[in-house]
Amino acid sequence: MSNFYFPSSETKDGWRTLVHNDDISSLGIDLEATREFVDWNMEIQSVPPARQSPLSVLVIKDGWIVSERYDRPETKYTPTWTASMGKTMTACMVSKWIEDSSGGRIPIKINLESPVYDIRYLPEGFPLSDPRKNLITFTHILNHTSGLRPSPEVFQGENFLFVPYTVGHCEHYPDSMQLYSEPGIKFGYSNVGYNHLAVISPHLTGVQLHTSIENHLFSPIGIEKTSWYSGGPSYLWGEKIYQPSCAGPDMTSRDLARFAYLLLRNGKWEDQQIVASWYLDEMKKVSWVQLDYGLGLRSNTNGSLSTSLPKDAFVLSGAGLNVAMVVPSWDLIVIRMSQVHSFNSKKFLGEFLEKSKSIIRGLNDG
């Protein structure tokens, strides 16, 4: 039996919360610095005439919510788009594929170095639109070194079809046909790369990827309220309606915190190992071509992400200034959810990480 606390679902008791300053301070939280950090976040909003974004900030220490603020009361209960934080969710499902493959629960053996373009589980990709696609591995997809077209890509439009476009067979949108570099050579943040995993999932497991995420990743940890992107007829192929696997669903900040807490607890929830611990170690390893990106998340393993944070820190990030920062050695999670598109996201993330160290008492100087 695990000695760690795990929150029940929000329809039951939900997260435990501390409200008294003495209790919060006893966990090593700098009260004034935390308030200033949250205030700073709340001030970064959409610029008119853009509509004000839902905005939430949560700080969780030792399994306690020690700070929680929303731009308006209803935001607490309103799901917000997780955007590319969903790449971490998708990456976690590849762990299950590999474990199920090893255990004989799916008939095809795969590992991180298996080819993505295999006719057994990606028949839509053949014939290859570029012979170099034969060299792309799951690692290349997950760490954005596949050579596939980097962002931005197409998601809608006349004659757009999600599955053919993903594998380079959509003649009206030819930009995904040819690789822009050899696999494994350059970092190119690619949504279309991650979307290959949505196309693979039904062939490999018999289930759509977003359904697997709900059943095997969300349900066991008490995430109950999500909604996924609906792209209409462009996302219908055969008898299946696909969801892009480059992005996650809409969910509340408290539920996103559950997913971050699962990663903080090394993939284990109570007595169930949901994401293999060895695989999480692989996720945090960075590639030589991008020193702050692992498999579906940003990693500080060599200090390239932030010199202010411990090297075990890692970050989920997504469009709209969505951030989930996890620092295992501090037993700390910091969540920001919003859809603010009027600020430089790279600059914001750097400031967010730098300011976040002030939350822990005694780390404000230097």
pLDDT digits (tens, 9 = 90+) for 91-129: 999 999 999 999 999 999 999 999 999 999 999 999 999
Q: Which residues pair with 294 in a beta bridge?
A: none
Confidence of residue 320 (pLDDT cuts 50, 70, 90): very high
pLDDT digits (tens, 9 = 90+) for 259-314: 999 999 999 999 999 999 999 999 999 988 999 999 999 999 999 999 999 999 99
- b (16+ CB within 10 A) / e for 328-342: bebbbbbbbbbbbee
pTM of the model: 0.95
Query: Would you state the pLDDT for residue 113?
Result: 98
pLDDT digits (tens, 9 = 90+) for 188-241: 999 999 999 999 999 999 999 999 999 999 999 999 999 998 778 888 888 788
Residues 88 and 316: beta-carbon distance below 8 Å: yes
pLDDT digits (tens, 9 = 90+) for 122-176: 999 999 999 999 999 999 999 999 999 886 666 778 888 999 999 999 998 898 9
User: Quick one: which H or E segment has residue 95?
Assistant: helix 86-102
Confidence of residue 71 (pLDDT cuts 50, 70, 90): very high
Mean pLDDT of the chain: 94
